[in-house]
Each structure stands twice: as structure tokens, then as C-alpha cells.
Structure 1
């Protein structure tokens, strides 16, 4: 994989601000040709640097409850539990962590009843889960994946 340079990082920053920015506009901002922008974006997508996705607003989709669930698993069961969790549409993130919890899950629900039902009827059925620590999000300040920072492209 080719190392990202200053131009690649600038392209990524522009796309993070507006994923629908036309290549001609990006080229104009950076003083490059549209073909250069098109080929750099194609290369970064092909190399898995990023992918274009649609990002929905959970509130607008009727998903008013976000939970962070810390899970303790039986020794040797972490991968199997993570695989099982990954199949649920309510779960948007599953990660293995050091510390108090073996796995941390982020999940979205229509309401508290749906969350309670998920924990009691779904999580309780997954072999290998020892304990679940459920926390509700009260207020969200930021929700983005890896960002290109301004100081990276100056």
C-alpha cells in the first residue's frame, strides 16, 4: 500500500466535510486536475483507506436509545461471542478491549423496552457471556470514525 501523502490527506478531509463533493470541486480547491483527484480517490478506495457509506441519523430513523454494553466472557469465548453479536442488526460496533470488559458493544434501539428485551431475550441466549454492564447514552458530543485532522493537512 502506498503511503498517504499531504494531498491524499487533504482529499480525505474535503470528503469528510462533504462526501458528495464533486471531483472537479476538490481539484479546484487543491489546484490539481480532476483526473488526479479521481485516480487518487480510486487508489485509496481500492487499498481500503476508506469507503463511501451512507450515514443515517439514528434519531430520525426512530432509534432513540443508544446503549454501550460492556461484556465479560468466559475465557476462550471472546471471538465466538463477538461473532454472534456481530449478526444482530441492533449492534453497530463490537470491539475487544483490555480492562474491565472483554467486549464493548454499541447498539441502537427504538426504546428502553426494546433494549430490555434485547438483553433478556438475545444476549442471555449467547453462550460464553458471563456478565453484561449496560449504560445508556444521555447526550452525544461526537460520533465519527477516524478523522483527518487539520494539523495533518496543513
Structure 2
């Protein structure tokens, strides 16, 4: 990934529905260049998908949490790839200290939330996790 790829990803994080023309203008490249880069980033797994995110105020019944995850051995890359494929994970972070990864999770209800937690905990390489529900955003 180069500077243009990183800028493109930053713009897509802000507005995943931005048109190719608007992205091209922001990046000062052609529309075709933007389209080719998005296709490549998607094919290479850098872009895991496109989704709509609503603010907590617009979805007050959503279940939101952070999950700290410990990965065993040399399984970090495969675990990250698997975790990035879970649509309920809104963001995934590496970190230092006792935990290897932190996942920001959001589901529509507790039944879905429990399903996501069970799935993550059953993943190959996940040795330990700790989850905290987010109550109020200040």
C-alpha cells in the first residue's frame, strides 16, 4: 500500500458511499485509478466489505462492546483475516500489553451479540478474551 491507497481508505472510512469521481478529485487521480485501486484492495482483502454505520443516538437499542483478544502462537494473521470478515466487528486494533487485539463490536440485540462472541471465542488461535459492554457514549 502506498500513500494514495492510505488516503483512499481514509476517505472511504469517512464516506463509504463517496462516488469514484469525488474520490478521484480528492486524491487528484483519475476515476479509473480509484476504481482499480478499490478493486485491488478488495481482492487483496484490505477492504473486507462496505457497510452502513449509524450513530449510537440513531440506534439506541444496539448492543456495543469492546473485546480484548489474546492470540496463540503464529496465528495472528489468520485470526485478523477471519475477524475482519465478521460484519459486526466495526473496528479491529492491534495493541500492546496483555492483549493482542481489540475488536469493537456492534449488534442489533443480545442474541446476535452472543452468537458473535461464541464465534470469535471458537476461532482457531483465539486463546482468551475479555468483553466489556459499552453503555453510554459521552
* TM-score (norm. length: structure 2): 0.59
Pairwise CA distance, 1:54: 6.5
Q: 1:67 to 1:54 in 2, by over 3 A?
A: closer
Partner in structure 2 of residue 64 of structure 1: 62
Distance 2:57 2:25 in 1: 35
Divergent runs of 4+, >4 A: none
Distance 1:66 1:100 in 2: 22
Check if 1:41 corresponds to 2:38: no
Distance 1:67 1:115 in 2: 9
- 3-state secondary structure, aligned to 2:83: helix
- 3-state secondary structure, aligned to 1:127: coil
Partner in structure 2 of residue 104 of structure 1: 102
Distance 1:129 1:84 in 2: 11
Partner in structure 1 of residue 116 of structure 2: 118
Q: Is the 8 A contact 1:63 1:109 kept in 2?
A: no
Superposed, which structure 2 residues align to 1:124-139 within 5 Å? 124-139=121-136
Partner in structure 2 of residue 140 of structure 1: 137
Select the structure with the greater relative contact order (CA < 8 A; seq sep ≥ 6).
Answer: 1
Q: Is the 8 A contact 1:63 1:108 kept in 2?
A: no
Structure 2: runs of 5 or more not aligned: 4-13, 15-23, 35-50
Q: 1:55 to 1:114 in 2, by over 3 A?
A: closer
Larger radius of gyration: 1
- 3-state secondary structure, aligned to 2:112: helix
Pairwise CA distance, 1:42: 3.8
Pairwise CA distance, 1:58: 5.0
Number of equivalenced pairs: 103
How much is the aligned-residue C-alpha RMSD, in angstroms? 3.3
Q: Is the 8 A contact 1:64 1:109 kept in 2?
A: yes
